[in-house]
Amino acid sequence: MKLYLIGGFLGSGKTTAILNACVELIRHKVNVGVITNDQGAQLVDTKFIKYANVSVKEVTDGCFCCNYNKLDELIENLKQKDNTEVIFAESVGSCTDMIATVVKPLQEFRTDIETIISVFVDVNVLPNILQGAALFVDSVNYIYKKQIQEADILVINKIDTLSNTELEKMKVLVASKYPEKTVLFQNSLDEASINEWLTTLTGTKVTSRKSLDIDYDVYGAGEAELAWLDLEIELFSDDNNAFGGATALVSAIHSAIIDDKLSVGHLKFLLTMACNKRK
């Protein structure tokens, strides 16, 4: 069985890539499953995957690194119950040190599982990090860079937001910073791009990895800088237009963030209708 660990910072596009990769694999009759992960209990990502009719489990209230036993249990569950051939395990956006805490234990105790780590980065964020711009505080930048360090495959995502000239400059920058990495420049909304990632995952073989040298004081400080809010809200409407009210609320939240110049790593909404309730 293949386990594809997916790391990367908040908002780098991991869930979209996983969802579209699952669609492609299912189309080719591959049994696929997903394990999502979050610091809270309300996982929007789980609902996105579930609505695509993909088997999905979740590790909540902490990253994979701190919940190895739960992750291992869910891997076995997907393998035995659904005869899963490929599992995508998407770590929470602040997770790093997966080689020491996840990959090496799997190599020791689960020799039937082949594990590859893909780390996603937003093509619009990475240049600021590499060129020393003050996008985040130092401790958060530390986590970001350590995530990249763990990548078997580094996926530079959202390239559709760049011009051809900007993309070529990005390729030169990345090649100078990470000459040893397998790097993909990806648009996760594009079928051909997703298939290239899947082909690269299939063709990548890693026999040994070196655990990261982690300063846990800095790592902990970076985690503390990141605020998390997972919330489920029910809206009831007297005019049978709860969806309109929900979209207005989403727009109001977005406008307030822009007006107050708040720094947001990740913002995701999922709107659903309940037919048995007046919403």
For 23-73, write each residue's pLDDT tens digit.
Answer: 999 999 999 999 998 876 656 778 778 888 899 999 988 888 888 999 999
Residue extents of the structural domains in the chain? 2-225, 233-279
Q: Which of 21-30, 150-159, 197-206, 267-276 shows the lowest mean pLDDT across its residues?
A: 267-276
Q: How far apart are CA 172 and CA 263, in angstroms?
A: 28
Residue 227 burial (CB count, 10 A): 7
Per CATH, which fold does 2-225 belong to? Rossmann fold (3.40.50)
Q: Which of 80-84, 158-162, 268-272 shows the lowest mean pLDDT across its residues?
A: 268-272
For 158-215, write each residue's pLDDT tens digit.
Answer: 999 999 999 999 999 999 999 999 999 999 999 999 999 999 999 999 988 999 999 9
DSSP string, 158-226: -GGGS-HHHHHHHHHHHHHH-TTSEEEEE-TT-HHHHHHHHHHHHH------PPP---HHHHHHHHHH-
Average pLDDT value for the chain: 89
Non-local CB neighbours of 48 within 8 Å, separated by 6+ positions: 15, 19, 270
Distances (CA, A) of 193 to 155, 196, 200: 11, 5, 11
